[in-house]
Amino acid sequence: MTKRVLVPLAQGCEELEAVTIIDLLTRAGVDVVTASLDDNRTITASRGVQLVAQTTLADVESDRFDVIALPGGLPGANHLNEDARLHHMLRQTVQQGGLSAAICAAPKVLVSAGLLDGKKATSFPGVIEQQPAENMTFVDEAVVQDGQVVTSKGPGTAIPFALTLIEIYWDRTNGTKSKAVFSSVEVLAQQLLMRKANCLACSSVKCVV
């Protein structure tokens, strides 16, 4: 069965994180649903890039998702954190056996939803250390998974964050199809990271995407 992932898009979200999550999960065969918080589905991200959500949160509020993945950015993460519907959906997803995931400044939403109590987690520096969840342990790593909660640091870790979500739901031990899907996305991610590392010496690196 195709996995469903909800990516809520708030005004002022971090576009690199949002697009990386959406793109890599879609390439992996996941049914990614993007939803705005209100009726305005045109999202102006933190750097002025415009994204168009497929639907609104009101339209999918009662739907069941395998994963809810929150992009960060400001003021986007603050808008997400102010939405009580989203807190409920995050808790419900975990109760139903799914994952709640957040990157950059968005782990603060997981704190507010009570999902980081007693958990190991990370975020953009200074976000959840200042207002930690009860008995939470901050871990200075790119991606941290603790049970059904996944957190990540920021734009520079968006690819590992997305790959972690893919790996969890495309278990490489469960047949050749899932192995091939994960491997192809992983290769693409490695190529993207290689281009980033060699952008000042492009004559030695062949652009592939």
CB 149 within 8 A of CB 101: yes
Which H or E run contains 146?
strand 143-146
Annotated catalytic residue, options 13, 104, 202, 207: 104
Cα 152–chain centre separation: 8
Partners of 151 in the β-ladder: 102, 144
Residue among 81, 72, 69, 67 nearest 154 (CA):
72
- Dmax over CA atoms of the chain, in Å, equals 51
Residue among 141, 136, 179 nearest 157 (CA):
141
What is the C-alpha to C-alpha distance for residues 112 and 40, in angstroms, rounded to an integer? 25
Q: Is 104 labeled as catalytic in the residue annotation?
A: yes
Instruction: Print burial letters for 65-78: b (CB count within 10 Å at least 16), e (below 16).
Output: bbbbbbbbbbebbb
* Residue positions annotated with a catalytic role: 104
